[in-house]
Amino acid sequence: MSAQIIDGKAIARQIEEAVAASIAKLGFRPGLVAVRVGNDPASEVYVRNKAKKARELGLTGTELVFPETMSEAELLAEVARLNADESIDGILVQLPLPKHIDARKVIDAIAPAKDVDGFHPINVGMLHLGRPTLAPCTPAGVIRLIESTGRPIEGSHAVVIGRSDIVGKPMAALLLQRNATVTICHSKTRDLPAVARSADILVAAIGRPVMVTDDFVKPGAVVIDVGMNRVGPEDGALLAHDEEKTRLLTSTTRGSATWRRGSRPYREG
């Protein structure tokens, strides 16, 4: 049986349509601010796209860009200003930050109610307690992708490869909330392929190229690939790598594995 490919772009369009319709009913334009410090090329693209998409959906999307030389105190002061601004409903601080700035201090300084990334300790705690909160976008998106397959999460054995605070841990929490039995794997896990093969739902959230291959996947498993990795200096290497992942997963899985290419690079914790 050939693999079924999840159409992530089609699902994204459905979500965007629903969000735009909800915003149109509010009677005002919520304010979202994306903050970037420095000139990291990937961050530049992410922040610009976030602000652009916010505007397309009916929000007031603003991009604030500061020089690499901005001090930690100056950034914390800017976050405090945005917290106090009643026209701002959501704050995104793009990571990574320059090395002289403590990212944890900055995340902790964002008002929990405006922390749309869901990284503030209060929101993290609420998530793990199973209470309504702002969840990190990548794990939340993975849940939507899994649900789109029609395969039940409840009662399934879900294996998450990766334990980062951004993806792995919140991914496990969201799966637990939906009554999956969850195993979190990492670089110290013994016989990782065997553990992965036990999964009904396999989420690969580890920063290592082409790690999950056919010996990690049992027939019929749902496979979601969160990672994105650049594998060479030449132009097009990232696209070529993703195309290779597509070929590997669709041609070597022994059943109807479902996967989706990820959209956010990160390092395993």
Segment 100-147, tens digit of pLDDT: 999 999 999 999 999 999 999 999 999 999 999 999 999 999 999 999
2 part of a folded domain: no
Scanning 85-167, the segments in alpha helix (DSSP H) are 103-109, 121-128, 137-148
Highest average pLDDT, of 70-74, 130-134, 236-240, comes from 70-74
Query: Same domain for 97 and 148?
Result: no
Query: Same domain for 106 and 188?
Result: no
112 part of a folded domain: yes
The CATH number assigned to the domain holding 82 equals 3.40.50.10860
Please check the confidence at residue 1 and state whether its pLDDT lies above 60.
Answer: no
- The arithmetic mean of pLDDT across residues 192-212, rounded, is 89
The answer to pTM > 0.85 is no
Q: Say if residues 29 and 60 touch (Cβ distance below 8 Å).
A: yes
Of the three residues 60, 89, 117, the one that is the final residue of a domain is 117
pLDDT tens readout for residues 37-67: 998 888 888 888 888 999 999 999 999 999 9
Measured distance CA(52)–CA(45) in Å, rounded: 11
| DSSP β-bridge partners for residue 198 | none
Query: Same domain for 86 and 23?
Result: yes
Domain count along the chain: 2
The CATH number assigned to the domain holding 217 equals 3.40.50.720
Measured distance CA(247)–CA(141) in Å, rounded: 23
Whether omega before 219 lies within 30 degrees of 0, making that bond cis, reads no
Of the three residues 117, 149, 178, the one that is the final residue of a domain is 117
Q: What single-letter amino acid sits at 210?
A: V
Place of tokens 């409903």: 89
> What residues contact residue 52 under an 8 Å CB cut-off, 6+ apart?
61
90 part of a folded domain: yes
- Determine phi and psi for 179, rounding to 5 degrees: 65, 30
122 part of a folded domain: no
61 part of a folded domain: yes
Buried b (16+ CB within 10 A) or exposed e, 208-226: ebebbeeebbbeebbbbbb
Query: Same domain for 155 and 221?
Result: yes
pLDDT tens readout for residues 135-186: 999 999 999 999 999 999 999 999 999 999 999 999 999 999 999 999 999 9
Query: Same domain for 151 and 229?
Result: yes
- Determine phi and psi for 145, rounding to 5 degrees: -65, -45
Measured distance CA(50)–CA(119) in Å, rounded: 17
Report which of 163, 108, 102, 171 is spatially closest to residue 141, judged by C-alpha positions.
Answer: 171
Count, in order, helices (H) and strands (E) of the chain.
Answer: 9, 9
Query: Same domain for 143 and 222?
Result: yes
Of the three residues 57, 88, 117, the one that is the final residue of a domain is 117
Query: Same domain for 101 and 148?
Result: no
Active site (catalytic) residues: 50, 94, 117
265 part of a folded domain: no
Domain encompassing residue 176: 135-259
Place of tokens 């994105």: 228
- Mean per-residue pLDDT of the chain: 85
Query: Same domain for 113 and 162?
Result: no
Report which of 2, 41, 19 is spatially closest to residue 141, judged by C-alpha positions.
Answer: 19
128 part of a folded domain: no
Q: Say if residues 253 and 214 touch (Cβ distance below 8 Å).
A: yes
200 part of a folded domain: yes
Query: Same domain for 97 and 144?
Result: no
Query: Same domain for 204 and 248?
Result: yes
